[in-house]
Amino acid sequence: MKFIHTADWHLGKIVHGVHMTEDQRHSLYQFINIVEEEKPDAVVIAGDLYDRSVPPTEAVELLDEILYTMNVKMKTPIVAISGNHDSAERLSFGSSWYRHSQLYIQGRLSDSFEPVRINGVNFYLVPYAEPGVVRQLLDDDSIHSHQDAMKAIAGKMEESLNPNEPNVFVGHAFVLGGQTSDSERALSIGGSGCVSSDCFDAFSYTALGHLHSPDAIKNPKVFYSGSLLKYSFSEAKQKKSISIVNMENDGSFDVTYRSLSPKLDMREIEGSMEELLDPGFFQSQNVEDYLKVTLLDEGSLIDPINRLRQIYPNVLHLERKWDLIDSKRKQSFSSVKDEKKSELDLFETFYKEMTEREFDGLKRDTIASVIEAVKKEEAVK
């Protein structure tokens, strides 16, 4: 039995102000070509089909078009779950009607304990859920963290699954040991969102979504497929691919990878203005790519971004090496105490990283009073 594992399409994503829909369409049609060639028995999409709970209508139309092509026209069974970026309710609207053509979109955790069986393989579809939701559903007050929640879910499945059959867990989680990129990091400050990979010991293969790199974790049975596209410059060096899993009746399997070539790559380049504007340098590359440029010139420059954009129209981010060294120097000053940072300092670091704007006195006071209020409330409990 052969299935394709993919995840993190993030349809409707905007990167540095650029709508990625056409890039996504390009990669998804490549994906469809691979499905055409590989003829898998199923396609697994492990969450974050959309980038946000209310995606733009173009993203809605694109997903409809892609799923229709694969599922109805090409008659490929599809199993999918909602991720933390999807609205479970909106994504799974109409899912009862999709089942007749073997399109399974799982947004409701209560339905997860009955696997979807395709060609002898049992797929356990576990949409992303907050620990509080799992606590309520399983009526288990000991569930507080994502680790508790996942342990309980997988444990409940283990009670009823047949270990002599191939069982695939499909989930959307931050599994410990995974490498994070900027696009996920913001969500997992403090490690409270982490899940250990041994939760999935009972399963033959665990198909994960959430982390964007296909080699985010080294584990013989637990895998990320990685995202459809590079969605931040911290992913610039990753190779994006989809995983082709060939599974035997005893649950053993081998995995091969088919790479995806984006319409435009996301890359980082570095040099002086003169070097970067030299035809000898830029003629050998695709100047249309999405670029983060690090300028090595010292001193002031007149309108560097617009000069660069005459050659490289899609410069999304510009940095000066000097500025960078300056700010690193400032950072190292406080990094010794990083481990013991107060909530307010942590928030300040987070705010600056996210917005690249100053965290001034008024903002500081506002957040300080919010933190104070939360602490008071917790003390009362």
The residues binding a second copy (CB under 8 A) are: 54, 57, 60-61, 63-64, 68, 71-72, 87, 89-90, 93-94, 96-98, 100-101, 103
Q: How far is the CB of 73 from a second copy (least distance, A)?
A: 10
Residue whose CB is less far from a second copy, 54 or 324: 54
Q: Smallest distance, Å, CB 46 to a second copy?
A: 20
Question: Is residue 140 within a helix (H) or strand (E), and if so which, with residue range?
Answer: none
The per-residue b/e assignment along 240-275, b for 16 or more CB within 10 angstroms, e otherwise, is: bbbbbbebeeebebeeeebebebbbbbbebebebee
Q: What is the DSSP string of 295-363?
A: E---S--SSHHHHHHHH-TTEEEEEEHHHHHHHHHHHHHHHTTGGG--HHHHHHHHHHHHH-S---HHH
Which residue's CB is nearer to a second copy, number 91 or number 168?
91
Nearer to a second copy, 48 or 184 (CB): 48
C-beta of 22 vs 248, nearer to a second copy: 22
User: Least separation, in Å, of the C-beta of 71 and a second copy?
Assistant: 8
Residue 18 zone, left/alpha/beta (φ > 0; ψ -120 to 50; rest): beta
* CB of 63 or CB of 293, closer to a second copy: 63
Could you give phi then psi for residue 118, rounded to 5 degrees? -130, 120
What lies within 8 Å, CB to CB, of 256 at 6+ separation is 243, 244, 246
Distance between CA atoms of residues 182 and 179, nearest Å? 10
Residue closer to a second copy, measured from CB, 68 or 322: 68
- Spatial strand order of the sheet with 2-6 comes to 103-106, 78-81, 42-45, 2-6, 241-247, 253-259
Looking at the Cβ atoms of 78 and 153, the one nearer to a second copy is 78
Residue 63 CB, shortest distance to a second copy, in Å, is: 8
What token pair was written down for 296? Answer: 């090595």
Long-range contacts of 150-154 (CB under 8 A, 24+ apart): 150/195, 150/199, 151/199, 153/109, 153/112, 153/126, 154/199, 154/200, 154/202, 154/203
- CB of 122: closest distance to a second copy in angstroms? 23
> In whole angstroms, how close is the CB of 7 to a second copy at the nearest point?
20
Minimum distance, C-beta of residue 273 to a second copy, in the bound complex (Å): 40
Nearer to a second copy, 87 or 272 (CB): 87
Cβ 91 to a second copy shortest distance, Å: 9
Which of 219, 180, 238, 206 is closest to 81 using CA atoms?
A: 206
